[in-house]
Structure 1
């Protein structure tokens, strides 16, 4: 890692070398959530304003914030002093009419332009099925090689967000998918830890669906025993030498915190989180129905509590990435 990349990475983390970042780069999904909460069509101004509320009220408790350049740049100006900025480079969503969930960049942006706009690091989301047709996966490999080289040329950290899926099963919440998820997650981490992709930090899912772990399963029939689930976390750590952080994947704040505690007990060497909906999702309805002032009040009470509780868990569970930097 170059001196400039390391300095940028430190700006995104705390003094221990742990990333406690806030994600609000949602676009299409956020528009739908705001519209549903207000019971009226959401407009672009609503999205911009909600991101500004998140940034102004919650970044004092985060090491960094992840935003998108389409709606999030005004919010980036409102973040707390000392809070780092990650910027998303991918188009939101994917073309469901075509096979492969193929990646796509924002056409009017480049890594150079995102850096000029204030980004300390670049984030790209890639949907990936390790078992999909090799032609599709080769396309994604080449795409990530190009993106890694672009980030290397601009000497800026490359955060690759990997989201697994099964091309033969669209129901990611099903027990059938839970059975194959450890293989999907851990094998794609191995692939994108290869040096040709020039990835600096992996942003990844936990390797199991906690809703099917014995003791966490509620009304679901468990798919994994606790010991099996713990072993998958061990295998995940062994899958990469890169720093890696967990995404919250839309679970509740409590479930995400419990998941981190479980991961730590299993021996996971994760280096922090980039947490979105688990922190602020329940504030959408307040903002959409009652306005900006009420939204800020929610963020300063419930949202703040969510982050502070998460930070307390991270202090006990996440490990420094300093030992992984080469």
Structure 2
């Protein structure tokens, strides 16, 4: 039997679809999204435009998503505009990291807390941590303490804690070179942050391989055979002791859907997705060129099509989050 706090259990149900799968939309990007809008407009984007685009995505697409990930800096109006049946996950970390300091150390938004996030009708808290198992023990210990701190805060407020892990290696700038070492970095990070001391309720993970470099799948020169790639997915499944969902990492909608099918065939019992740019990226161009009406037209047509197709793939490939614990019958709500 596994004990889950009452508030956390109710929130995880709210964040999932009727099948217990987390079919979440992500649009907590800040600086990068502002640059995308500016590039589409061919002039600097304003904070107001950033807020407005998030709001449009939320209004138009949350009727088809089980939850949405937003930031509290520019995403509050979007959160309030979401469909009533759609759960809300809120980012707690500052965007990016200090490029002048070693280790890509994380930091929290200074005027926010888990309590304040919960007061904004959020159903979960998310932080992103860049993690390299091969970094110095000193740097990784700072990150571990950081995650412990947020985990304790979420436990005190009885709200789910989503941890997003993005791996890296400062010494391997070449993408093909990094692709070779990425699997072990992802797997080790999953092992570490599955430990109970961190209080993580859901891991938000990048897939353990560069799918564009899998033989027979991607367009780039292969780094892994299909069987090697499947083995890495199986090892993530073995390492994860809590529910986990895949992030889209900016790949195309088509490649992300292929990835989910591949993961399922490999034996990954993942519990959903947090899909961002793969769903709405082209809508930025529509917004830049056609304003609010252009974005609405795109979101109602291609945007909806992207999310409907993703949901259809999830229905065939994803596993309910509570199956990690052997089913709801093995969970004690306390």
Q: How big is each residue's C-alpha offset from its partner over 1:150-206, in whole Å with a ceiling of 9 and x where there is no partner? A: 0000000000000010121244xx110110110011110100011110000000000
CA distance in 1, matches of 2:7, 2:118: 13
User: 2:6 touches 2:158 (CA, 8 Å); kept in 1?
Assistant: no
Match of 1:23 in 2: 26
Aligned Cα root-mean-square deviation (Å): 0.8
User: 2:214 touches 2:223 (CA, 8 Å); kept in 1?
Assistant: yes
Match of 2:266 in 1: 266
Match of 2:318 in 1: 318
Runs of 4+ residues deviating >3 angstroms: none
- 1:134 paired to 2:140: no
CA distance in 1, matches of 2:293, 2:79: 19
- 1:182 paired to 2:152: no
Unaligned runs of 5+ in 1: none
- 1:55 paired to 2:70: no
In the superposition, the TM-score normalised over structure 1's length comes to 0.98
Match of 1:79 in 2: 82
- 1:276 paired to 2:280: no
In the superposition, the TM-score normalised over structure 2's length comes to 0.96
**CA-CA distance at 1:77 after TM superposition:** 1.1
CA distance in 1, matches of 2:218, 2:74: 37
Match of 2:328 in 1: none
User: 2:203 touches 2:243 (CA, 8 Å); kept in 1?
Assistant: yes
CA distance in 2, matches of 1:122, 1:101: 21
CA distance in 2, matches of 1:228, 1:192: 24
User: 1:132 touches 1:167 (CA, 8 Å); kept in 2?
Assistant: no
Pairing of 1:281-320 with structure 2 (within 5 A): 281-320=281-320
Match of 2:67 in 1: 64
Higher relative contact order (CA 8 A, sep 6+): 2
CA distance in 2, matches of 1:278, 1:323: 27
Match of 1:46 in 2: 49
Match of 1:216 in 2: 217
Match of 2:208 in 1: 207
